[in-house]
Amino acid sequence: GLVNPVMTQLIQAIRSREGSFSSIERLGAGSYYEHVKVFEPNEFDIMLVMPVARLQLDECDDTGAYYYLSFKRNPKEKYLLKFLDEDGKLSAFKMLQALRTIIKQEVKTIKNAEVTVKRKKAGSPAITLQIKSPPAEISVDIILTLEVQQSWPPSTQDGLKIEQWLGRKVRGEFRNRSLYLVAKQNKKEKVLRGNTWRLSFSHIEKAMLNNHGSSKTCCESDGPKCCRKGCLKLLKYLLEQLKMQHTKQLDKFHSYQVKTAFFHSCVMWPNDTDWQSGDLEFCFQKYLGYFLDCLQKSHLPHFFIPQYNLLSPEDKASNDFLSRLLKYELNNGFPIFQE
C-alpha cells in the first residue's frame, strides 16, 4: 500500500521526461513477488524494464553472465545513443546516473510518505529508496533492466535443464521469452568503468516458482499440495538468521545461491510425489544436503548459465564456515528455528 503509490508517481515522472526512459515498464521481482518472502514485506525489488529491439552482446569474462552491449547499425533507440561510452558501449553507469537524477528530483514532491534516495553502494545495480511512514520503514531497490527481443546467448545453451521436471515444451516456451539484462558492475573487470550488464532471469524464475509442479494442478486451490516453497523459505530463513549472527564472515552469501540450489533440487527430484506436503522435514534435509554438498565442493552452477559458478573456490574459507554452521544446525535439530 505504501510502495505502489510512490512507484506509480515515480514511473509517471520518469516517462514524462525527455525520450530516454519514456518506454519504461514496471516488473515486480524478487521474493515478495515470488511469494517466498520470509520476513515482513519491508524490502521490495522492482525492475524498471526498457524494451530494446536488438543489441550486440560481447562477453566480458569467462562467466558467460556479464556482457558489454553495443548497437547494431542504425538503432531504433536513438535516444539511447547519448549513453554510449567512448568505445561505443552502452554505459550502465551513465544510464543509472540519469535515472537516479530524475528519481532524486521527483521524490522531493511526494506528499504522503517521507521518501529518500539512499547513497549509492559501489557496484550495486540498484537505486535504493527508503520509504518512511511511521511505524513502517520500507526499502525499495529499483533495478534498471533492458528487455531485448532476441535469442539467448550461447552461454545459456545447456542451462535450464527442466525437461524431467516441468517438461520440454515449457523449456522451449521459456527460452523463447525476451532476454533481460540488468545494469550490474562486473567486479572482475580490469578497469571498473561501470559499463557491464548482467543477464537476468528473474522473469523465468518467478514463472517457475509460481508454476512449480510436474503436474499442472500442484498447489492449486483444489489440487494436491507440495512442500517445495516451504523448503525454500526454510533455507532462506536459516541463511538470513545466520547472516545476522555472523555478518562479516557470511557477507559473500545471498539468497540467490539458496534459490539456485533449490532449482537444481527440483530437477534432481522432479516429481510432485518427491515433495509431498507431509514430508517437509525430510525434503528440507534432502535439499539442505545438496546445498552442503555444493559448499563442500565450492561449486554451484548458475541454473541458466552452467559455466558460471556461484560458489567460487576463492571463497573456500567462507564456504567451509557456512558449511560448519549449517551442519551444526542439522545435527542439533535446528536450534535457530526455536529462537
Total number of domains in the chain: 2
Cell of 247: 555478518
Query: The CATH number of the domain where 252 resides is what?
Result: 1.10.1410.40
| Residue 176 shares a structural domain with residue 127 | yes
Q: Is residue 176 part of a domain?
A: yes
Task: Say if residues 105 and 123 touch (Cβ distance below 8 Å).
Answer: no
Question: Has residue 191 got a pLDDT over 70?
Answer: no
The 10s digit of each residue's pLDDT in 125-166 is 788 999 987 777 888 889 999 999 999 999 999 999 999 999
Query: Model-level pTM?
Result: 0.91
List all residues 6 or more positions away from 222 whose beta carbon is below 8 Å from its beta carbon: none
Distance CA 48, CA 20 (A): 13
* The pLDDT value given to residue 27: 80
| Residue 51 shares a structural domain with residue 126 | yes
Give the residue from 146, 168, 200 where a domain finishes: 200
Give the residue from 154, 170, 200 where a domain finishes: 200
Query: The CATH number of the domain where 150 resides is what?
Result: 3.30.460.90
> Range of 332's domain?
215-337
Q: Is residue 207 part of a domain?
A: no
The 10s digit of each residue's pLDDT in 219-272 is 988 889 999 999 999 999 999 999 999 999 999 999 999 999 999 999 999 999
Q: Is residue 206 part of a domain?
A: no
List all residues 6 or more positions away from 242 whose beta carbon is below 8 Å from its beta carbon: 250, 322, 325, 326, 336
Element (H, E) at 133: strand 126-133
The 10s digit of each residue's pLDDT in 55-106 is 999 998 889 999 999 998 777 788 888 999 998 999 998 999 899 999 999 9
| Residue 66 shares a structural domain with residue 11 | yes
| Residue 282 shares a structural domain with residue 318 | yes
| Residue 194 shares a structural domain with residue 231 | no
